[in-house]
A and B are shown apart, each in its own frame.
Chain A
């Protein structure tokens, strides 16, 4: 099974940039890396997805090194509403559709 490793929790202050790193040593050649955000009592929702190098959208950036064994989600200038759990997800290299979520990173943004 594909396995990802993330920090369990992080604290930050409003206005700061937050970087959350995920390790995924057995990522498959054709797999993409996707990050999800989950608020309490809700299902996870898509934030950003990438294959290599850097991807940026209106809410976040995703940095992926050449070996693709890790990725970093970057949230610019966080606000209190960014307090959530963030999950890194990669496709299972053994079974295409067996998407395994890790423990996630619990981000707490402080005023």
Chain B
């Protein structure tokens, strides 16, 4: 009963390095999301994938790329990390709202990223 699993949980990068955050969900959800949360701040949507094969920009997509590898997996890549990208990153998934009377989003436990 894993739900949404993110790796790694903690990572320290040097400015200019690249890395990929991995996310997988086992709930057969169609939609997946990447959010970032800066200290003491709310969640901001980076990218989302409404269904397998599609991705779209959210509120703060600059500096990031995503890949919806298959229905289960949605990765977030930082090509050239910057200190401004120091944050906690949350992956999430949900069912399309037309399939149910509503919609709830399930979140992973977060990935703490520090760029020095």
Q: What 0/1 pattern do residues 23 to 35 of B give for CB contact below 8 A with A?
A: 0000000010101
Q: Which residues of B contact A103 (CB under 8 A)?
A: 41-42
- How many Å lie between the Cα of A51 and that of B101 in the bound state? 9
B102 touches A98 (CB 8 A): no
Q: Which residue of B33, B56, B107 is within 8 Å of A45 (Cβ)?
A: B107
Q: Which residue of B92, B96, B102, B110 is within 8 Å of A42 (Cβ)?
A: B110
Write the nearest CB–CB distance from A27 to chain B, whole angstroms.
13
- How many Å lie between the Cα of A95 and that of B45 in the bound state? 13
- How many Å lie between the Cα of A44 and that of B104 in the bound state? 11
A100 touches B45 (CB 8 A): yes
Write the nearest CB–CB distance from B96 to chain A, whole angstroms.
7
- How many Å lie between the Cα of A101 and that of B33 in the bound state? 12
Write the nearest CB–CB distance from B113 to chain A, whole angstroms.
14
> Which residues 19-35 in A have Cβ within 8 Å of B in the complex?
30, 32, 34
A96 touches B97 (CB 8 A): yes
- How many Å lie between the Cα of A43 and that of B33 in the bound state? 13
- How many Å lie between the Cα of A74 and that of B38 in the bound state? 27
B42 touches A43 (CB 8 A): no
Closest CB pairs A-B (n = 5): A43-B107, A101-B43, A32-B102, A97-B50, A103-B42
Residues on A lying within 8 angstroms of B by beta carbon are: 1, 30, 32, 34, 36, 41-46, 49-51, 85, 87, 89, 91, 95-104
Residues on B lying within 8 angstroms of A by beta carbon are: 4, 31, 33, 35, 41-45, 48, 50, 56, 58-59, 90, 92, 94, 96-97, 101-110
Starting from the known contacts A32-B102, A87-B43, A101-B42, 7 additional A-B residue pairs (CB-CB under 8 Å) come to: A34-B105, A43-B90, A43-B92, A97-B94, A99-B45, A99-B94, A103-B42
Q: List 13 A-B contacts (CB under 8 A).
A: A30-B97, A34-B102, A41-B110, A42-B109, A43-B108, A46-B104, A46-B105, A87-B42, A89-B105, A97-B50, A99-B94, A100-B45, A104-B43
